[in-house]
Amino acid sequence: MSTSGNPYGDIHRYEPARESTPAAIAIVLLTIIEIVMVGMFTYGMVEGWGRTEEGNMFLGFLLALIFISLAFILALYRKEFLPDVMIVKKRRRKWEDLYTRPEQVDGEQISDDLIELFKRAVYPYYKR
């Protein structure tokens, strides 16, 4: 795995979309059907078709068809018009999750010289 500058991981596979014409035609037809069903559902709600049991069932059926049609549109779009990309995430060591720099992984040693430790604690800009 190559170490690129991308913090999310490396792209291992990139296949461009097929962009087939039959899929585009099917999406357009399903979108037209979707618009008609949404119009019928809206008209039925405004006209009060839901007051009767049969009208209520018909509106529920229309709503189900709307969502099924939308699911087919999204599935076709995802399969035919979005590229196939596989990104493998970088494995991070635990100390990277704690925002620890690599030189701090082993921790800091306690100074044997207590005077130097006191000087650094009191005056943080004190140099060794």
Ranges of each domain in the chain: 10-91
| Dihedral sign for Cα atoms in the order 92, 97, 103, 104 | negative
- CB of 81 closer than 8 Å to CB of 28: no
Residue 2's pLDDT is what?
46
Tokens coding 108: 């800091």
Checking if the pLDDT of 100 tops 60, the result is yes
Checking if the pLDDT of 92 tops 90, the result is no
SS3 sequence of 86-112? EEEECCCCHHHHCCCCHHHCCCCCCCC
What 8-state DSSP symbol labels residue 8?
S
* pTM more than 0.75: no
Residue scoring higher pLDDT (128 or 72): 72
Residue 121 parent element (H or E): helix 114-122
Checking if the pLDDT of 43 tops 80, the result is yes
Residue 119's pLDDT is what?
74
Checking if the pLDDT of 117 tops 60, the result is yes
Digit-coded pLDDT (tens) for 3-41? 455 666 677 777 788 788 999 999 999 999 999 999 999
Residue 27 parent element (H or E): helix 21-47
Digit-coded pLDDT (tens) for 69-86? 999 999 999 999 888 777
Distance CA 104, CA 84 (A): 40
What mean pLDDT value characterizes the chain? Answer: 81
